């Protein structure tokens, strides 16, 4: 396990979270959701744990975003 790499990944995660909160553009926020998920998974891989593939991470983010869209569409329909 490379502690320096983990610290850098933690810093990248914190920066991406700050950027996501600051973005007013929904597309920019969506891109940051993917980057956050991938950076988080890189922390898992770097720490020696079993990480998902990038394809699996993207598929999981897609599924979550689709679910959020359905939930928000349902709230707007009420």
**How is residue 26 written in tokens?**
């929904």
**How is residue 2 written in tokens?**
């490379």
Instruction: Give the C-alpha separation, 45 to 70, whole Å.
Output: 32
Whole-Å CA distances, 70 to 5, 6, 53, 65, 67:
37, 35, 26, 9, 5
Does 30 have pLDDT greater than 80? yes
Q: Is the dihedral of CA 60, 21, 43, 9 positive or negative?
A: positive
Residue 73 structural domain: 3-77
Does 8 have pLDDT greater than 80? yes
What's the predicted TM-score (pTM) here?
0.80
User: For the segment 49-64, what is each residue's pLDDT rounded down to a tens digit?
Assistant: 999 999 999 999 999 9
φ/ψ (deg, to 5) at 24: -100, -15
Q: In the chain, how many domains are there?
A: 1
């Amino acid at each position: 396990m490379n502690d320096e790499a983990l610290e850098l990944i933690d810093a990248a995660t914190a920066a991406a979270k700050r950027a996501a909160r600051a973005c007013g553009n929904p597309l920019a926020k969506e891109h940051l959701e993917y980057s956050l998920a991938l950076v988080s998974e890189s922390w898992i891989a770097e720490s020696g744990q079993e990480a998902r593939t990038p394809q699996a991470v993207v598929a999981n983010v897609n599924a979550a975003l689709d679910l959020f869209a359905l939930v928000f569409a349902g709230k707007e329909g009420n």
